[in-house]
Amino acid sequence: MYLPQIHDERTTLCNYLDVQLDAVRASSYGLDDHQARRAPLRSALSISGITKHIVYCMKQSLSGAGHQEHDQPFEAFFASFTPSEDEDIAALLETFDEVRDEYMRMCRDGDLDAELPVGPMPWVGMNEARPATLRYLYVHHVEEFARHAGHADIIREEIDGAQAAELLAAVEGRPANDFVTPWQA
């Protein structure tokens, strides 16, 4: 959790991004591959699918910022919510961690006013990429990652009752307090 502090704009944005990425990653803590693939709600979302989609989002941003090794066709967006048979949760998390490190370096080092292409987003009528600043992208990703972290919270609670605060406490190795007991299987 990013507790109240006085930081500059970049540090604040990066800390919020990191917190949301922590929450998405923690949602898979203690799950086996079968559990991580479960879609227990009316949607097709699963913990594995959310993890894969967040990797897609980070790679798209890296590609737009000039890291060509992360180029993906737009069609990959539609497949980004569903892991293939060979993408088990361990492999997805390994990729998540690798891409996250590079993504966060970009966030910490990039010029907030630098322009890069964002999109397309045909679901809102934006059929072509548009220029935006890294600042816009970071704020958009706080929104995007928080939305999917919330999805992951609900899915995880449906799978085994684990809640975000107790999962994060377990992942971070924090002791129990009057409000939160770290999750245990």
The tens digit of pLDDT for each residue in 22-66 reads 999 999 999 999 999 999 999 999 999 999 999 999 998 898 888
Q: Tell me the pTM.
A: 0.94
| CATH annotation of 12-172 | 1.20.120.450
Domain ranges of the chain: 12-172
Core vs surface per residue 9-38: b (16+ CB within 10 A) or e: ebeebbbbbbbbbbbbbbbbbbbeeebbbb
What confidence tens digit (pLDDT) does each residue in 115-155 have?
988 888 888 898 888 999 999 999 999 999 999 999 999 99
